[in-house]
């Protein structure tokens, strides 16, 4: 029987969620939805020393913003809850003990100080200490100590951890959906701690037990977990669970823009782009890290951009709606190589999605921005302006930069343009033109004014480019903006002529 696809995103609440993590979640989501499966949010909070207040809420809010909905998880519950590992704490010890009973794990009594001393000893000889099949016999554990001593230590309540026992000289083999066949020599592996002296499982044990209990079919996660995978596979085998072992897919890293190393929080600060979906306020350091949401990115643009950092559908297509991604996504087409983060591309995606936002929606946003500046312009005008300048903007907060002159009169005129266009005698010509424009009736003034200019300028052997630019300079203060007819329509006869006459008086050449 084919099992229903069930995948999980399993972040640890240790701080804000990196966009690499968001991409991992997105690929899980796409895979689940494509296969009619479930997408689960599990919070892996067994490492209490790294727990950060507010991080879980941040993760939940990030996915709400991005529009990626979980089917089960910490917020909505589900048949295999609870979904927060700290609330499942009681479950794990029995599993660890089961492995001890099966001879696949053992008690270790070494104190942190003793282990530290071993580490330093090894370092002094330029070696690294590892708790493994070669060293464990020299250490204090239930494999090296006599059985009655182990018994005594346990009865006396001595602190212990439970470690996985890697056999010597075995080949651990498995297949990864992205990386292919993997084979590792068990002698090289660390006997990782599964269960800690504080009564908490480690990530490795809790992760495997929960994936099993939650019927996870595919584990899609970042490449940084690949080195742990031989342990995970060995755990499934040690428990006798190989028949339900999920398939593994380890995603390539997200790289710095120059391709040199993993994209880090610091790169974002240094190069001026967010590496987190939402702004994060670190309570300890007081530091604020920027977020895509607060930087004006649209969630659909972020989703689309992340989908393409490490995957493509084999064509040149770059714009995909979430539904399209669900249809077209395939693990086969995930790259093995790291994907470089590209800020220009991120902006490009936002530009594309901003163009799809209706003028009405943007006008509402813009009207609020204007009100904050103390500008109260009627909605219809704001909407008209938005329609005219939207294509010049990649972010809603670039609207002002591209349309301020609709709301405030120019105080200065771009010097370079002025020098080039406003020659001696231009003032007089503009004066005459202004008079003619005054004489045009108010009804459909802008259209009539344009017809007049198109006729008048060549007829009087004037330079079209120069005159129109001088008019633009007078009205806008610069040579930027959409076409003059549109500007004249929005601003109207009175305002245009006021600005033109002011310019003529001020420039005075
Ligand atoms: N808790 C791990 C993390 O923070 C989960 C890794 C996994 O998906 O197995 O990334």
Distance 255 CA to ligand 1 centre (A): 19
The verdict on whether omega for the bond into residue 82 sits within 30 degrees of 0, i.e. cis, is yes
Residues with CB under 6 A from ligand 1: 10-12, 44, 203, 207, 219, 221, 225
Distance 326 CA to ligand 1 centre (A): 23
How far, in Å, CA of 431 to CA of 450, rounded? Answer: 16
- For 361-416, the pLDDT digits (tens) are 999 999 999 999 999 999 999 999 999 999 999 999 999 999 999 999 999 999 99
Distance 3 CA to ligand 1 centre (A): 23
Choose which residue among 203, 235, 250 to substitute to test ligand 1 binding: the one with the highest number of ligand atoms within 8 A of its C-beta: 203
* DSSP summary character for residue 217: -
Mean of the pLDDT values across residues 134-153?
97
Asked if the model's pLDDT at residue 338 lies above 90, the reply is yes
Asked if the model's pLDDT at residue 509 lies above 80, the reply is no
Choose which residue among 18, 44, 220, 254 to substitute to test ligand 1 binding: the one with the highest number of ligand atoms within 8 A of its C-beta: 44
DSSP, collapsed to helix, strand or coil, labels residue 202 as coil
Can you give the pTM of this predicted structure? Answer: 0.92
Query: Tokens 């080195």 sit at which residue?
Result: 227
Q: In this predicted structure, what is the pLDDT of residue 318?
A: 97
Distance 222 CA to ligand 1 centre (A): 8
Q: Give the residue from 229, 191, 190, 226 showing the smallest Cα distance to 208.
A: 229
In the numeric block, which tokens belong to residue 189? 């592996």
Mean of the pLDDT values across residues 322-338?
96
Choose which residue among 14, 221, 231 to substitute to test ligand 1 binding: the one with the highest number of ligand atoms within 8 A of its C-beta: 221
List the residue whose alpha carbon is closest to atom 3 of ligand 1.
Answer: 11
Distance 21 CA to ligand 1 centre (A): 9
CB-CB contact of 249 with 223 (8 Å): no
CATH number attached to the domain at 1-74+252-346: 3.40.50.620
Atom of ligand 1 nearest to the CA of 14: 4
Q: In this predicted structure, what is the pLDDT of residue 3?
A: 80
pLDDT class of 427 with cuts at 50, 70, 90? very high
DSSP, collapsed to helix, strand or coil, labels residue 348 as helix
- For 291-321, the pLDDT digits (tens) are 999 999 999 999 999 999 999 999 999 999 9
Distance 284 CA to ligand 1 centre (A): 24
DSSP letters spanning 140-178: SBTTTS-HHHHHHHHHTT---EEEE-PPTT-EEEEEETT
Q: In this predicted structure, what is the pLDDT of residue 267?
A: 87
Atom of ligand 1 nearest to the CA of 8: 8
Asked if the model's pLDDT at residue 465 lies above 90, the reply is yes
List the residue whose alpha carbon is closest to atom 5 of ligand 1.
Answer: 10
Q: E-assigned strands of 260-337?
A: 280-281, 288-289
CB-CB contact of 366 with 396 (8 Å): yes
Distance 346 CA to ligand 1 centre (A): 26
Sign of CA dihedral 325, 31, 71, 290: negative
CA of 309: how far to CAs of 68, 120, 255, 290, 313, in Å? 17, 41, 10, 20, 12
List the residue whose alpha carbon is closest to atom 6 of ligand 1.
Answer: 10
Query: Tokens 């590792």 sit at which residue?
Result: 184
Atom of ligand 1 nearest to the CA of 11: 4
Q: In this predicted structure, what is the pLDDT of residue 71?
A: 98
Residues making up the chain, counted from first to last: 509
Asked if the model's pLDDT at residue 335 lies above 60, the reply is yes
Atom of ligand 1 nearest to the CA of 24: 8
Mean of the pLDDT values across residues 417-433?
95
- For 108-121, the pLDDT digits (tens) are 999 999 999 999 99
Q: In this predicted structure, what is the pLDDT of residue 272?
A: 85
Q: In this predicted structure, what is the pLDDT of residue 2?
A: 61
Q: In this predicted structure, what is the pLDDT of residue 508?
A: 72
Atom of ligand 1 nearest to the CA of 228: 9
Asked if the model's pLDDT at residue 158 lies above 80, the reply is yes
Q: What is the fold, at CATH topology level, of the domain defined by 415-507? A: Arc Repressor Mutant, subunit A (1.10.10)
- For 181-203, the pLDDT digits (tens) are 999 999 999 999 999 999 999 99
Choose which residue among 8, 12, 253 to substitute to test ligand 1 binding: the one with the highest number of ligand atoms within 8 A of its C-beta: 12
Query: Buried b / exposed e across 403-420, counting CB within 10 Å, b at 16+?
Result: bbbbeeebeebbeebbee
Atom of ligand 1 nearest to the CA of 220: 8
CA of 374: how far to CAs of 67, 370, 371, 408, in Å? 33, 6, 5, 11
Q: Provide the CB-side half-sphere exposure for 213 (13 A, CA).
A: 18
- For 200-220, the pLDDT digits (tens) are 999 999 999 999 999 999 999
Asked if the model's pLDDT at residue 1 lies above 80, the reply is no
Residues linked to residue 486 through DSSP beta bridges, in sequence order:
none
Atom of ligand 1 nearest to the CA of 211: 9
List the residue whose alpha carbon is closest to atom 2 of ligand 1.
Answer: 11
What proportion of the chain, given as a percentage, has pLDDT over 90?
96
Contacts 24+ apart (CB under 8 A), 445-454: 445/488, 445/492, 445/493, 446/485, 446/488, 446/489, 446/492, 446/493, 447/485, 447/489, 449/488, 449/493, 449/496, 450/484, 450/485, 450/488
- For 62-74, the pLDDT digits (tens) are 999 999 999 999 9
Looking only at the bridges linking them, the beta strands covering 193-195 and 161-164 are: antiparallel
User: Residues 265, 340, 347, 448: which is the catalytic one?
Assistant: 265
How far, in Å, CA of 487 to CA of 476, rounded? Answer: 9
Domain boundaries, the chain: 1-74+252-346, 90-195, 357-406, 415-507
Choose which residue among 6, 7, 10 to substitute to test ligand 1 binding: the one with the highest number of ligand atoms within 8 A of its C-beta: 10
Lowest mean pLDDT, pick from 125-129, 156-160, 219-223, 261-265: 261-265
Q: Is 265 a catalytic residue?
A: yes
Q: Give the residue from 165, 207, 172 showing the smallest Cα distance to 186.
A: 172
Q: Mention every residue, 6+ apart, whose C-beta is less than 8 A from residue 423.
A: 466, 509
CATH number attached to the domain at 90-195: 3.90.800.10
**Sheet of 105-108, strand order:** 105-108, 161-164, 193-195
Distance 343 CA to ligand 1 centre (A): 27
Distance 220 CA to ligand 1 centre (A): 10
Q: In this predicted structure, what is the pLDDT of residue 146?
A: 98
DSSP letters spanning 280-302: EE-TTT--EE-BTTTTT--HHHH
């Amino acid at each position: 029987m084919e099992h229903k696809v069930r995948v999980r995103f399993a972040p640890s609440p240790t701080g804000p969620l990196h966009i690499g993590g968001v991409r991992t979640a997105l690929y899980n989501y796409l895979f689940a939805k494509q296969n009619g499966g479930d997408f689960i949010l599990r919070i892996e909070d067994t490492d209490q020393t790294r727990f950060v207040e507010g991080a879980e809420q941040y993760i939940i809010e990030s996915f709400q913003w991005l529009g990626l909905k979980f089917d089960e998880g910490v917020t909505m519950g589900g048949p295999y809850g609870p979904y927060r590992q700290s609330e499942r704490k009681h479950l794990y010890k029995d599993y660890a003990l089961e492995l001890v009973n099966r001879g696949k794990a053992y008690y270790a009594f070494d104190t942190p100080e003793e282990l530290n001393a071993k580490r330093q000893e090894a370092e002094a000889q330029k070696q690294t200490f590892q708790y493994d099949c070669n060293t464990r016999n020299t250490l204090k554990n239930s494999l090296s100590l006599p059985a009655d001593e182990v018994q005594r230590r346990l009865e006396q309540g001595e602190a212990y951890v439970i470690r996985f026992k890697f056999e010597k000289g075995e080949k651990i083999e498995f297949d990864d959906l992205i990386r292919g066949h993997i084979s590792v020599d068990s002698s090289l592996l660390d006997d990782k701690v599964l269960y800690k002296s504080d009564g908490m499982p480690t990530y490795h044990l809790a992760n495997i037990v929960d994936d099993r209990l939650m019927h996870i079919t595919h584990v899609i996660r970042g490449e940084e977990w690949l080195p742990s995978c031989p342990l995970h596979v060995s755990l499934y085998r040690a428990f006798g669970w190989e028949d339900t072992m999920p398939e593994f897919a380890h995603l390539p890293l997200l790289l710095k823009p120059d391709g040199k190393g993993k994209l880090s929080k610091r790169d974002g600060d240094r190069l001026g782009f967010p590496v987190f979906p939402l702004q994060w306020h670190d309570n300890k350091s007081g530091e604020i890290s920027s977020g895509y949401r607060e930087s004006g990115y649209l969630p659909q643009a972020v989703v689309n951009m992340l989908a393409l950092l490490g995957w493509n559908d084999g064509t040149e297509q770059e714009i995909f709606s979430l539904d399209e991604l669900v249809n077209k996504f395939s693990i086969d087409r995930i790259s093995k190589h790291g994907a470089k983060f590209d800020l220009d591309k991120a902006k490009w995606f936002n530009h594309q999605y901003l163009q799809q936002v209706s003028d009405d929606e943007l006008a509402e946003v813009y009207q609020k921005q204007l009100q904050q500046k103390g500008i109260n312009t009627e909605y219809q005008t704001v909407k008209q302006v938005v329609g005219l300048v939207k294509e010049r903007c990649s972010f809603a907060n670039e609207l002002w930069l591209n349309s301020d002159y609709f709301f405030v009169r120019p105080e200065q005129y771009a010097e370079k343009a002025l020098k080039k266009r406003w020659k001696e005698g231009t003032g007089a010509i503009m004066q005459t033109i202004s008079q003619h424009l005054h004489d045009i009736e108010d009804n459909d003034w802008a259209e009539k004014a344009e017809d007049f200019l198109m006729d008048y300028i060549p007829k009087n052997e004037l330079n079209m480019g120069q005159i129109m630019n001088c008019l633009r300079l007078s009205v806008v203060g610069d040579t930027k903006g959409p076409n003059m007819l549109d500007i004249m329509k929005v601003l109207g006869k009175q305002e245009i002529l006021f600005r033109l006459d002011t310019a003529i008086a001020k420039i005075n050449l």
